[in-house]
Amino acid sequence: MAIPLISNVGFTEVSSSGSLNTKAGDKTKLPIQFFRLSGAITGALTLDNNSAHKKIILDTNGNNITNSSGSPLTTNSSTTLELKGSGNVQSTLKTFTSSESSTSHTGTTTLSAADNSTVVVTSVARDADISLTDGVSVSTGFGGVFSTSDTVLLPNSELLTLPPNPGSNNGTLQSSARTAGEQMLALAGGNSSMANLKDSNFRIVFGNGVTKTGSDASHVGNRITFSTTGHSVFFDFISSGGDFIRPILNSGSVSSIRIPNNTVAGGGRTIAFTNNLAISVVLTGADPFDSVTVTAGATNTQTRSTTDGSFSLTGTISGNDGSSRPFALKDINDGTGSVNEDAYTGTKSVSAF
């Protein structure tokens, strides 16, 4: 009597994503597993470890496996999965996001989805805004810019290039829309703040290129004077209605003025993104990164003049490697098992890590 031979090969047609073990059913107990795609797969194919498996083959059969949210394969089998066929096996995941809603946030956020790239929010000392609040501020209409240096720059270039006005008031550092009386710097420290103008870090550059520092100033009463040939600026202390310094351009012109030692309580924030990916990434979201490209290994730092440490960003990668394989934020397999590609002829994606 002949004894029938029982095949030790489990053959399974695969037409959808999901667990290969489940799709094989009772055949998963057999030592040789042969899976063949009968159509394109969207999502991931997973394979759990089974000690009965001695050989595992996955034939794409000319069909693609694509996963837009992760790896196309997750094999945790201790037996190597042998990938065959010409179908593409690709992750199409190319974006990651990160956000922090707390405005009081400082510290490091690690982005595992971007190869442990980081967003670091740091408190920084900053100079006074030329505004109506904090530090050295302005009465009305005295424009200026925020600076991250140790001094505060004032006023803006429009206010510094005007020639002296005729008449008893001489010239004032002002825009044409304001009067001399309105162009006054408010002082938080009263007359004692005039000492900042005598600081050696104070700097005034006249139109002829000559620079004078606080040590060059003459101080008589409530007036501090800086001058060089053909150029002269007064700074008068005025206590009427509050404590103010009024700058008056007596002759010539001024190209820039810096007044030191005027910091704002609470300071500002720097938000720094460090790209640990192997390729460049484009950051968007405008909070605070707006279409910013950060190359591999580089850091892009944005500075805020407020204490707001919140952020929201999206990172996007693109491009292909030298073998025309598209970059993705996941490898083709994110399981603990291994994949043999010796007989595979399709185009797989490659990790940007």
SS3 22: helix
* CB-CB contact of 159 with 143 (8 Å): yes
Burial pattern 207-233, b for ≥16 Cβ within 10 A else e, equals beebebbbebbeeeeeebbbbbeebbb
DSSP, res 263: B
| CA–CA distance, 230 with 39 (Å, rounded to integer) | 86
Residue type at 31 in one-letter notation: P
* CB-CB contact of 281 with 275 (8 Å): yes
Beta bridge partners of 205: 211, 256
* CB-CB contact of 62 with 84 (8 Å): no
- pLDDT tens sequence across 227-242: 999 888 887 776 665 5
SS3 27: helix
- pLDDT tens sequence across 285-328: 888 999 999 999 999 999 886 789 999 999 999 999 999 999 99
Rg of the chain over all Cα atoms, to the nearest angstrom: 34
DSSP, res 28: G
Position 186 pLDDT exceeds 90: no
* Length, in residues, of the chain: 353
Position 151 pLDDT exceeds 60: no
- Distance, CA of 145 to chain centre: 22
Residue 206 is inside which H or E element, if any? strand 203-206
| CA–CA distance, 291 with 219 (Å, rounded to integer) | 50
In terms of Cα–Cα distance, which of 1, 27, 2 is closest to 14? Answer: 27
| CA–CA distance, 80 with 333 (Å, rounded to integer) | 12
**pLDDT value of position 126:** 52
Other Cβ atoms closer than 10 A to 333: 23
SS3 232: strand
The answer to which of 67-71, 212-216, 305-309 has the lowest mean pLDDT is 305-309
With cut-offs at 50, 70 and 90, classify the pLDDT of residue 157: very low
The pTM of the full predicted model, rounded to 2 decimals, is: 0.65
79 or 266: whose pLDDT is higher? 79
